[in-house]
Amino acid sequence: MKASDVVKLCGRAKEASRKLALTDERTKNRALAAIANALIRNIPYLLKENAGDIAYAKGKGLSKALIDRLTLSPSRISAMAASLKAIAKLKDPVGEIIETVRRPNGLIIKKVRVPIGVILIIYESRPNVTSDCAGLCLKAGNAVILRGGSEAIRSNTAIYNIMSRAASGLGRGSFQMITDTHRSVVNALLRQEGLIDLVMPRGGESLIKEVAKRSRIPVIKHYKGVCHVYVDEYADLKMAGEICLNAKVQRPGVCNAMETMLVHRNIAKKFLPSMIRRFKEAGVRIRGCNATRVIAPGVKAATEKDWYTEYLDLILSVRVVGNVDEAIRHIMKYGSYHSDAIVTKNRKNASRFLRGVDSACVYLNASTRFTDGGEFGKGAEIGISTDKIHARGPMGLKELTSYKYIIHGKGQIRK
């Protein structure tokens, strides 16, 4: 794809974004419903195209967890459609009056929610990102440019083709996909300040760092998910076992899966042997600190690098800690400010952890796997921001808007 073609594509998106900003909610909801129904009608076609991507991934030797991220099934396609219908049911954020201020001079100042404009999504592996991101951007009045990875190109293209036909009434440029997977195209896109308003990379840490480094456009980053569960000495150990197993095993190849389990030393001898046994039965490979290896002989020694690693696989680091403060220090040193949890019945320790862990999502007695736009009632998510500016955590409709001030006067002039 030539650089000139990239500029033309971005220009179409900019023009479309102005029209979308004025599109009424009913029209947007009809388009979302049409896309959802079209996905269901085309399940056989989507599965066929996805099978080609899976074969390619297996040939490249990708891990089972990464292949799971890539895989579509009738239930996952149905979930994609359900997500779009859920987005349609959400209140349109565009035009919402956030606050109104009446000044002493009579001016009425309204802070009003507006679309961001044109959003570029650069992502890897998961085909559902294509429909989720397009649906959220559409409902929030933004045009979107989608650029997926080579490992899912057939699936992404198939989803995009279905969406384009189903929502043709929205106008050319409302959502567009770049099928050229060459890196030079991304570099050209990242230079289109003035045409693209926001970049959101979704994928591995290396991708996000590269995009942030090269972009001339503001970037909201979704860095790696090195998520922790801390089992406190006052934990209900049965509850802790279920939470930890779910956080690691339910879907290990996603960013909100637990990568490190921290256990208080006072309950480690009671909790770890049975917990590690359950993990091993589920196929999890354990890497532990010295104290863990004394309690559970045969566990591989964890390295300093392990504590920083987002495995996205059935691998888990385990560390025994002395108290809640040590758990917090570990998370703040090695974590990625994504999602972290404490399991405890002690209110003081719970409060200390919830206040002390500065992550986007901090849990008490629940699995980190809930960090998800759908689970948070947002219909879907466009990403999980680990930044602190504008948006943080699962990004839904409101996070895809900005605001402007509308001021009503009666002839006031400044003196």
Average per-residue pLDDT in the chain?
Answer: 95
Which amino acid belongs to residue 248? K
pTM across the whole model: 0.86
Q: Does pLDDT of 240 surpass 90? A: yes
> Which whole number is the average pLDDT over 316-330?
98
Query: Which of 117, 140, 119, 125 lies closest to 32 in space, CA to CA?
Result: 140
Q: Any idea which architecture 227-370 has in CATH? A: 3-Layer(aba) Sandwich (3.40)
Q: Does pLDDT of 66 surpass 90? A: no
> Which whole number is the average pLDDT over 298-313?
96
Between 397 and 206, residue with greater pLDDT: 397
Kindly indicate the confidence band of residue 323, based on its pLDDT and cuts at 50, 70 and 90. very high
**Span(s) in the chain for CATH 3.40.605.10:** 3-220+395-408
Most confident of 189-193, 209-213, 393-397: 189-193
> Which whole number is the average pLDDT over 192-211?
91
List the 143-147 sheet strands across, edge first. 175-177, 143-147, 118-123, 198-202
pLDDT at site 224? 86
Kindly indicate the confidence band of residue 281, based on its pLDDT and cuts at 50, 70 and 90. very high
Burial pattern 217-230, b for ≥16 Cβ within 10 A else e, equals: bebbbbbbbbbbbb
pLDDT at site 77? 97
Per-residue pLDDT tens digits for 360-413: 999 999 999 999 988 998 877 888 998 888 889 999 999 999 999 999 999 999
pLDDT at site 21? 96
Kindly indicate the confidence band of residue 228, based on its pLDDT and cuts at 50, 70 and 90. very high
Q: Does pLDDT of 204 surpass 80? A: no
Q: Which of 32-46, 122-136, 229-243 has the lowest mean pLDDT?
A: 122-136
pLDDT at site 1? 86
Q: Does pLDDT of 81 surpass 90? A: yes
Pick the CATH number of 3-220+395-408 from 3.30.110.30, 3.40.605.10, 3.40.640.10, 1.10.1060.10: 3.40.605.10
pLDDT at site 380? 79
pLDDT at site 317? 98
pLDDT at site 322? 98
Alpha-carbon separation of residue 161 from 45, 158, 305 (angstroms): 11, 5, 42
Tell me the two tokens of residue 308: 């920083």
Pairwise CA distance, residues 115 & 266, whole Å: 52
Q: Does pLDDT of 352 surpass 80? A: yes
Per-residue pLDDT tens digits for 141-168: 999 999 998 999 999 999 999 999 999 8
Kindly indicate the confidence band of residue 15, based on its pLDDT and cuts at 50, 70 and 90. very high
Contacts of 315 (CB under 8 A, 6+ apart): 284, 285, 287
pLDDT at site 388? 85
**Span(s) in the chain for CATH 3.40.309.10:** 227-370
